[in-house]
Amino acid sequence: MKEFDPGEAPASIVSITDRVKPLPLGAAVGSVHFLGDRAFFVGTEESVAIATLDGEITRTETHFGAILCAASDGKRLVTGGDDGKLIAIDAKGETSVIATDAKRRWIDNVALHGDGTVAWSAGKTAFVRNPKGEEKTFEVPSTVGGLAFAPKGLRLAIAHYNGVTLWFPNMAANPEFLEWAGSHLAVMFSPDNKFLVTAMHEAAMHGWRLADNRHMRMSGYPGRVRSMSWSVGGKGLATSGADTVIVWPFTSKDGPMGKEPAMLAPMPARVAVVACHPKNDIMAVGYADGTVLMVRLEDGAEILVRRNTGAAVSALGWNAKGTLLAFGTEDGDAGILEM
Amino acid sequence: MAEASQKIPVTVLTGYLGAGKTTLLNRILSENHGKKYAVIVNEFGEIGIDNDLIIGADEEVFEMNNGCVCCTVRGDLVRIMDGLMKRKGKFDAIIVETTGLADPAPVAQTFFVDEDVQKNARLDAVVTVADAKWLSDRLKDAPEAKNQIAFADVIVLNKTDLVSKPELAEVEARIRGINPYAKLHRTERCQVGITDVLERGAFDLDRILEIEPDFLEAGDGHDHDHDHHHDHHHHDHGHGHGLKHYHDEDMQSLSLRSEKPLDPTKFMPWLQNLVATEGQKILRSKGILAFTGDDDRYVFQGVHMMLEGDHQRKWKDGEKRESRVVFIGRELPEQAIRDGFEQCITT
C-alpha cells in the first residue's frame, strides 16, 4: 500500500446530530468508558466527568496533575497519572488508590485483565497485581510504550523499543521477545489470540502471527497511528492516522499479509479516534476537525453524529451492549448518543 | 512555522560532568521571572532542584527506521512531551537537562522529526555549560565535551574565577577553534542573565539574522565587563601577537561566502546531497542565501541530515545581497565543500 485514495465524497449524508445529548464538559477529554449506563469521561488532567444520558454531569477528582492512561473492564475504570498514582473508580464514582509509585514516577500505561488483575508501568518497569493483592514486577530494556493482556491465560504484552516482550507473570518460564526495530508505543492482541499488533512511533503498525512469530508490516500512513480498534469478532482492525479509516483484514490465517486494507470514510481531515461497535459491523470515527461519523464496515455507508466544529475528537466509546455511544473532544465538548 | 510564537520553547541544557548544569538550572528556576518551567532531567542526575514540574527522563536514544544512522531521537522525550501537553497552560517553557555524556543531537532532532512534538513545541537553543578549568583537558580526551561545544548556540564558560587570565584566553581560543558562532558568556557560579540563555530563538529561521562569528560582534556598544574588554583587547591585536589560534584536529567550522548570487537549481540539490552524504559529520548548518532572480532572502538551518528552510523576507534596499553558509562538524571535507559551493554561484 503506497498511498490512500480518498475516493469521491458522498453527495449527501444521513445526519443524526440532533439526537446527540450535548455534554459541555469544559475540560479536555482523554478517553471515555462506560460503566453501566453512565459515561466516564477521563480528562487529560485531574478529574473524571461522569455523565448520564439525561445530561447530568458529576465530576470526580482523581489525580494532582495529568492523567496519562486509562483502562476499563466495564466494571471499573483505572487511571494512571503524572502524580505517580494508579486510581480505580467504580460504577458509583467512588475512587480508591491502587498503587503509588515509590519514586513518584509517571504511570504511563495501564491494562486490565478479565479476572481482575491490573497491570501498569512506570518507566521501564511493568507491574502486575492480582485480585488477591499479590504484586509482581518485570523490567524491560527500555521505557514501556504499551501494555495489553492476552484474551486467554494471564499473559502480558509489554511494548518497548525494538519489540514486544510477552510475560507470563504466574510462570517461571522466560518471557518471549518479539523483535522489530523501532519504538513500539501501543500494543493489542487480536480477540482470537492469534495475532499481536503494535502502533509504532513512526507512521506504521507492526504485527506478529503468534503461532510462528511471522512479521506483518502495515505501513503507508501519513501520520502516527494513535487509535486502533478490533471490529466485532476480530475480523478487522480499524486504525487512525490517515484521512480515511484504514481497516486491516484479519479473517484469514495470514492476517492482512498480501491483502489491501479497506479505506473507509474519507474526509478532508485526519482520523483521530476509532471505536468499533461491540456487536455489529459498524464503527464510530472521530476526526481532527471535530467530525464524528458512524460507518458501516461492509460498504462504508456513513451517518453524521457530530459536525466539524472546534477541536479534534479525542475520545470515543460504546457501552457493552452497543446501545450508547459517547464522544469527547480536545476542547472539552462531549456528547452521548442513544442508538 | 508561522505559529512559532505559540509553541512552547524548549531549551536544551548540556555540559560535561561537573561543569555546573545544575547550578545554572537552579539559577534559572530561582530567579524572580514570573515564569513557570517544566524541567526534564535525567533520572540519575544530580538532585536538589526545586521546581513544581520536574520529570525524570531516561535518555533513551533510538534510530528512526528511515535508514539514516544519524537520525536518532530521544524516545523518552517523545513520551514526556505527550504527557506534558496534557498540562498545557500550566507552564511557559521547557528545559531539558541532558547527562554530562550526552550528545545533544538526538534531543534536537526529536524536535524536528516527531510530528506531534513539532506541533506543540519548538527548540529554542542548545546551551552548553563548560568548565573553564577543565574544558581544555576534556576537549582532548572526551569527544562528548567537544560535541557539546560544537553543537551549542550559547556557551556559559563557568568557573572563570578558578583560572588565570592566560588560561581563560587559552580555553576560549580552543572553544572558538571549534565553534566561533555561539554566544559566549564568562561566569562564576553560572551568574548569567536569564535572557542570555533562554528565549534565544536560535532555531527560529526568522532570527538567523547574523551568522558572524560571535567574537567579531564584541565592542559593538554593548556593556562589556572588565574581563570582556581585556579579552577583546587580545582579539584586536589578533594574529602575530602571540594569541594562539587553535584549529581543532577533528572538529571545525567552515564558513562560505559569496557576493554573487547563487543558482537555486544548483545550490539546493548540492546542499541536500551534502547533508545526505556527509550529514553524520555535519553537526549544525545555517545559511542566509541570495538566489539569482529572487528578491527574498532564503534562510536554512540543519542538524545532521535534517534541514529546514524558507524564504524569510525581502532583501532591503541597500542591503548587501551576500550569501553566507556555515557548517560546524567533524572532519569536514573542506575543499570538497568549498568547490561544491563555488559551483553553485551564478556566473
pLDDT, tens digit (0-9, with 9 covering 90-100), for A165-218: 999 998 888 899 999 998 999 999 999 999 999 999 889 999 999 999 999 999
Query: Quick check: B79 and A224 CB within 8 A?
Result: no
**Minimal Cβ distance to B60: which of A44, A108, A161:** A161
Task: Tell me whether A192 touches chain B (CB under 8 Å).
Answer: no
Chain B residue with minimum CA distance to A181: B65
What is the per-residue pLDDT for B316?
Answer: 87
Q: For chain B, give the number of residues.
A: 347
Q: How many CA atoms lie within 13 A of A57 on its CB side?
A: 19
SS3 label, residue B182 = coil
What is the per-residue pLDDT for B60?
Answer: 85
Read off φ and ψ for residue B126, nearest 5 degrees. -100, 120
Q: How confident is the model at residue A225 (pLDDT cuts 50, 70, 90)?
A: very high
Strand order through the sheet with A195-200: A146-149, A156-167, A176-189, A195-200, A204-209, A214-219
User: With contact defined as beta carbons under 8 Å apart, do B299 and B204 qualify?
Assistant: no
Residues in chain A with CB shorter than 8 Å from the CB of B76 are 143
Read off φ and ψ for residue A101, nearest 5 degrees. -65, 135
Q: What is the mean pLDDT of chain B?
A: 83
What are the pLDDT digits (tens) for B204-248?
A: 777 665 666 665 544 333 333 333 333 433 333 333 334 456 777
Task: Tell me whether B116 touches chain A (CB under 8 Å).
Answer: yes
**DSSP codes of every residue in A161-187:** EEEEEEE-TT--SPPEEEEEEEEEEEE
Task: Tell me whether A106 touches chain B (CB under 8 Å).
Answer: yes
What is the per-residue pLDDT for A275?
Answer: 98
What is the per-residue pLDDT for A94?
Answer: 96
SS3 label, residue A321 = coil
Q: How confident is the model at residue A229 (pLDDT cuts 50, 70, 90)?
A: very high
Lowest-confidence region among A251-265, B46-60, B190-204, B256-270: B46-60
Alpha helix locations (H) across B179-286?
194-197, 226-237, 264-278
What are the pLDDT digits (tens) for B114-140?
A: 888 888 999 999 999 999 999 988 888
Query: Considering only residues 10 to 49 of chain A, which have any Cβ-Cβ distance to chain B shorter than 8 Å?
Result: 28, 30, 44-45
* Percent residues over pLDDT 90 in chain B: 44
Alpha helix locations (H) across A67-140?
none
What is the per-residue pLDDT for B224?
Answer: 37
Beta partners for residue B122, in sequence order: B9
Q: For chain A, give the number of residues.
A: 339
What is the per-residue pLDDT for B68?
Answer: 67
Nearest C-alpha of chain A: how many angstroms from B288? 31
SS3 label, residue A191 = coil
* Percent residues over pLDDT 70 in chain B: 83
Residues B345 and B108: their CA atoms lie apart, in Å, by: 31
Q: Rounded mean pLDDT of A153-157?
A: 94
Helix (H) or strand (E) holding B29: helix B21-30
Query: Quick check: B64 and A223 CB within 8 A?
Result: no
Residues B19 and B189: their CA atoms lie apart, in Å, by: 10
What is the per-residue pLDDT for A191?
Answer: 95
Distances (CA, A) of B66 to A27, A181, B109, B269, B275: 38, 11, 14, 20, 15
What is the per-residue pLDDT for B5?
Answer: 62
Chosen from B60, B66, B73, B119 to mutate, greatest number of chain A CBs within 10 A: B60
**Minimal Cβ distance to A66: which of B78, B86, B115:** B86
Residues in chain B with CB shorter than 8 Å from the CB of A69 are none
Residues A10 and A302: their CA atoms lie apart, in Å, by: 9
Residues A298 and A319: their CA atoms lie apart, in Å, by: 22
What is the per-residue pLDDT for B239?
Answer: 39
Task: Tell me whether B263 touches chain A (CB under 8 Å).
Answer: no
Nearest C-alpha of chain A: how many angstroms from B153? 29
Residues A174 and B170: their CA atoms lie apart, in Å, by: 57
A5-26 as b/e: b if 16+ CB within 10 A: eeeeeeeeeeeeeeebbebebe
Q: How confident is the model at residue B72 (pLDDT cuts 50, 70, 90)?
A: confident
pTM of the model as a whole = 0.86
Where residue B178 falls (left for φ over 0; alpha for ψ -120 to 50; beta otherwise) is alpha
Residues A67 and A43: their CA atoms lie apart, in Å, by: 7
Lowest-confidence region among A151-165, B130-144, B219-233, B318-332: B219-233
Task: Tell me whether B86 touches chain A (CB under 8 Å).
Answer: yes
What is the per-residue pLDDT for B115?
Answer: 83
What are the pLDDT digits (tens) for A94-143?
A: 999 999 999 889 999 999 999 999 999 999 999 999 999 999 999 999 99
What are the pLDDT digits (tens) for A39-64?
A: 999 999 999 999 999 999 999 999 99
